[in-house]
Structures are given as C-alpha cells and as structure tokens.
Amino acid sequence: MDTSIYLVGLNHRTADVDIRERFALTNHCSGETWCIPVTETIRENIILSTCNRVEVLAVGREGTKEEILSAWAKAREESKELLSSCTYAYTGEEAIRHLFLVASSLDSMVVGEPQILGQLKKAYKQASSAKKTGPILNRLLHKAFSVAKRVRTETAVASSAVSISYAAVELAKRIFGDMGKHRAMLIGAGEMAELAAKHLLSAGIRNLYVANRTFSRAEALADEFGGKAIPFEQIFEHLSSVDIIITSTGSTEPIIRAKNITGVLHERKNTPMFFIDIAVPRDVDPDVNGIDNVYLYDIDDLQEIVEDNLTNRQDEAKKARNIVQEEVEYYNRWLKSLEIQPTIVALLKQHEDMAMAELEYTSKHLNLDEEQMAALRVMLSSLVNKLDHAPLMYLKGENNHKEQLERIATIRHVFGLPS
C-alpha cells in the first residue's frame, strides 16, 4: 500500500487571526463547495475549519500535501507560498497523533475546552455527506472520537472552570445544586458580570433581576436576558428573594455591607446567599463572608480558582497525552495490518493454488473417490498453513513502519508475488 495519512493545517500558534481569516474554509467544506477534490493522489479528506484552526486531514499518495495546499490556496484565492509559510504538515503516525490531540482538546488554546470535539464531529459529518471519506478516515475519525471520550472520562482535563464567569457558576452549583429553583440578581453592568449572568441562565436560572444606576441600561439588559429590571434604590428590598447576587458597579465604596445582610437573611429563613463581586473597587464588604450561610467571592478569589484549575488541567493533560500515545499505537497496529493484508492473502492464495493444482495432477493417475479427495484437500490446506506460518509471523513483526515495508518487499520477492 503506497498511501498514507496526511494532515496539513494552521492554528492559533502558527498563524495570527488575520491569516486564519484569510485561509478559513468554513464556506468551502460542504456539498458542492468542497474545495479539496478526491483525485488519484488524494483518496479521502476531511476539512476542519474553526476560529482557531483550519486543518485538512487526508489519505493519499506522495504529493498529497502539495495538492492540498494548491487546492486550499486556490479556493481562497490567496498565495500558496503564504499558506505554506504558516502551515504545519504531519504524515502517518504524527498525523494520527495530532488528530487525537485535537479531538481530545489537548491542542486547543484553552486545554480541555469542549467545543472542538463537536466541531470535529460536524466536520466528519459534512465530509461523509459529501462522500469524501473512505474506510481509513471513517475508522480514524471514530477512533479519534473514542479517544476524546476516554481522555474526558479518565482524566480531569475538562472538569474545572477556566474562566472567571464560569468559575463563579461552578461555585454557585456547589452551593445550590439544581439552579432551576433559584433566583439571581445582577447589580451593575460590567462585561464579566454579564457573562456570568449568561452562564447562570444557561445553567438553569429562570429568574434574573437586573439593577443599574441607569434604569434604561437595566431595562436593556433585562430584555437581553429575559429578566426583570428594578430601580437601583430597590436592591435591598429584592435581596431577600434572590440567592445569587452578581455585583459589578463603578462605586468606590461597598454598596452591600454585613449589617444589610443580617436582616435579609432572617427574612429568607437562613437560606444560603452567594455574592459574586466582580467590581474593582469591591461592591460587597468582605465581612459579609463571615455571616453563616452567606458566601462571598471577589474577582481575586475567582482568578485564583481559575489559575489553580489551569495548572490542574496542564497536569491532567500530561496523563491525557499518555492515553493519546497508547491509542496512536493501537491505531497504527490496525493500519499496519491493513498494509500486510494483501501480501498475506496473495501468499496464502498462491500456495493454496499450487497445492490444489498438484493434487489435481496427481489424482489423475490414482483412482480416488470423493471422500479421499476431500481428505487430501484438507491435509494440503493444513500443510500450506503450517508452511506459511513462519513467513506470516515474519510479516507481522512488531517493528517500525519502514521495516514493515521492507519485510513486505522481501516476502513478495522470495515467493515471487507481484509487487
């Protein structure tokens, strides 16, 4: 077999956003717009185009990389030289490893982010619908999905929050569990606070109050999130009915102090409250955290969690890379078995044919009945298998790819099989 797996691509490390935009293939990877044709050289291919990476995975002969780059540059009407200067290319085992790392989100800008697997699945679906995939890529992609699943199950690479807003929501879940039964209040309108509110809503919060010194701004935000705007002066009246409070005002003095909360907590029958203070200077007096059933996290606390989680993800990524390596070896073994398969079949067929021809010739001089002929056929087949055992073991030897190709050539030469 003279084909191999190729991966040509660019990502956030090799190309800045301007280049990534110029070479994006988002509109060139579906149906008739497919930009990498299946040719004599490129047998199968898949295009993955996201905001952080554009990659073409292909099965092909020598020259595949050049054909991919030409077709890609042509599709984007850009210079092939520019494209070549910012792309990386992997072949064989390296390409498989890179794909598994991408699928497992180990090559992402934020290690462990969950989107990439969905994007890869979508890319595979599009390639499959456009009939650009074949047995090798089908198997490879399914393997990549299972590797990603294994990495997520066996390591904690994606288990902790790595953004401040998401870390806040994770903490809220640790306190309240099911978010659907709880209410939140957004005080002020910083970008990060809005992001936290969005995460809370996607985590299941149904009721959101929005308070801002500029009421029209509060109304606009409330409309955006499907919440209810309240005048800034009325926040204390509503505190008793909300469980999560996100503050992000420009106030230079704390707007919520411990003395404000004691009475509120009594009204709430001591049900827990969680304050997320994203403002600098802080909006909530740190003493609030000292009250029973009240939890307060400010921007520094959340930042510390995020940094801790990022470090943890890097540690887990090491474990994940070992899993990827293990899986690359499994896949390679399967791929090698494909390479030796035609030689095995040809060798067995040649010897079987020889044995049966000799039997036919000899049986003409003997008066053998059908039962005796059948017994001789079985005996000869068994003999052929035994004689071929040593060469087959030699073919299946556990060595590198180059040695395997040499072994295939040797067997074909020794037994006179066509190359």
Partner 1 sequence: MQDLLSSPILSHSLSLFLILACYLVATVTGLTALSARMPRLLLSSCVLALFAFLFQTMTLILGYHKTFGDGLSGGAYLQLFAWFIMLAAVLLWFKLRKPAAMALSSPLCAALFAMSIPYMQQSIRLPDSLNYSFYMLHMGTLFAALALMAVACLVSMLFLILERSIKRKERVKGFLEDIPALSALDTVNGFCILASFPLYTVGILTGILSAKPVFGTSFSGDPKEIVSILIWLVLAFIFHSRIARAWSGKKPAIAMICVFLLSLFSLFVVNTLMQSHHTFH
- The pattern of x and - marking residues 72 through 111 that bind partner 1 according to CB under 8 A reads ----------------------------------------
Q: Which of 175, 201, 310, 368 binds partner 1 (CB under 8 A)?
A: 175
Interface pick for partner 1 out of 304, 326, 358, 406 (rule CB under 8 A): 304
Question: Does 159 help bind partner 1 (rule: CB under 8 A)?
Answer: yes
Among 18, 253, 292, 371, interactor with partner 1 by CB under 8 A: 292
Beta carbons within 8 Å of 275's beta carbon, 6+ residues apart: 245, 247, 256, 284, 288, 294, 295, 296, 297
Structure token digits, residue 252: 């230079």
Q: DSSP string of 110-142?
A: STT-SHHHHHHHHHHHHHHHTT---HHHHHHHH
Stretch that binds partner 1, among 61-69, 175-183, 220-228, 328-336 (CB under 8 A): 175-183
Contact call for residue 225 and partner 1 (CB under 8 A):
no
Closer to partner 1 by CB, 101 or 167: give it. 167
51 is annotated as an active-site residue: yes
127 token code pair? 């390639």
Q: By three-state DSSP, how is residue 399 classified? A: coil
The answer to whether the CB of 200 falls within 8 A of the CB of 248 is: no
**Total interface residues for partner 1 by CB under 8 A:** 21
Nearer to partner 1, 174 or 402 (CB): 174
Minimum distance of partner 1 from residue 232's CB (angstroms) = 28
Give the residue with the Cβ less far from partner 1, 47 or 305.
305
CA dihedral over 310, 315, 321, 323, signed as positive or negative? negative
CB atoms within 10 A of CB 354: 12
Q: Coil, strand, or helix at residue 220?
A: helix
- Does residue 386 touch partner 1 according to CB under 8 A? no
Determine which residue in the list 257, 295, 352, 359 makes contact with partner 1, applying CB under 8 A.
Answer: 295
Q: List the one residue out of 18, 77, 28 whose CA is nearest residue 49.
A: 28
Toward partner 1, which CB reaches closer, 16 or 178? 178
Given a contact cutoff of 8 angstroms between Cβ atoms, the answer to whether 188 and 247 are in contact is yes
Q: Are 324 and 101 in contact (CB under 8 A)?
A: yes
Question: Could you tell me how many residues make up the chain?
Answer: 419
For residues 14 and 87, the answer to whether their CB atoms sit within 8 Å is yes
Q: Before 281, cis peptide (omega within 30)?
A: yes
For position 207 contacting partner 1 by CB under 8 A, the verdict is no
Cβ at position 158, least distance to partner 1 in Å: 13
Judged by beta carbon, residue 304 or residue 358, the one nearer partner 1 is 304
Instruction: Pick between residue 170 and residue 219 the one whose CB is nearest to partner 1.
Output: 170
Stretch that binds partner 1, among 33-41, 105-113, 293-301, 395-403 (CB under 8 A): 293-301
Query: Kind of pairing, strands 53-60 and 42-49?
Result: antiparallel
Using CA atoms, how far apart are residues 335 and 412, in angstroms rounded to an integer? 19
Binds partner 1 by CB under 8 A, chosen from 163, 293, 332, 381? 293
* From 174-182, 189-197, 203-211, 213-221, span contacting partner 1 (CB under 8 A): 174-182
- At its nearest, how many Å lie between partner 1 and the CB of residue 307? 10
**323-344: buried (b, 16+ CB within 10 Å) or exposed (e) per residue?**
bbeebbeebbeebbeebbeebb
Residue 363, phi then psi, degrees to nearest 5: -65, -20
The binder of partner 1 chosen from 171, 244, 256, 324 (CB under 8 A): 171
Q: Which of 272, 359, 373, 392 binds partner 1 (CB under 8 A)?
A: 272
* Of 74-82, 114-122, 166-174, 332-340: span binding partner 1 (CB under 8 A): 166-174
Among 23, 90, 100, 176, binds partner 1 (CB under 8 A): 176
Kindly identify the residues of this chain, within the stretch 242-271, that bind partner 1 according to CB under 8 A: 269-271
Q: Tell how far CA 285 is from the center of its chain.
A: 42
Q: 400 near 331, Cβ under 8 Å?
A: no
Q: Applying CB under 8 A, does 289 fall inside the site for partner 1?
A: yes
Instruction: State the catalytic residue, choosing from 29, 35, 51, 86.
Output: 51
Structure tokens at 345: 């079949």
CB 260 within 8 A of CB 233: no
Q: Which amino acids are annotated catalytic?
A: 51
- Interface residue list for partner 1 (CB under 8 A): 159, 171, 173-178, 269-272, 289, 292-293, 295, 297, 301, 304-305, 308
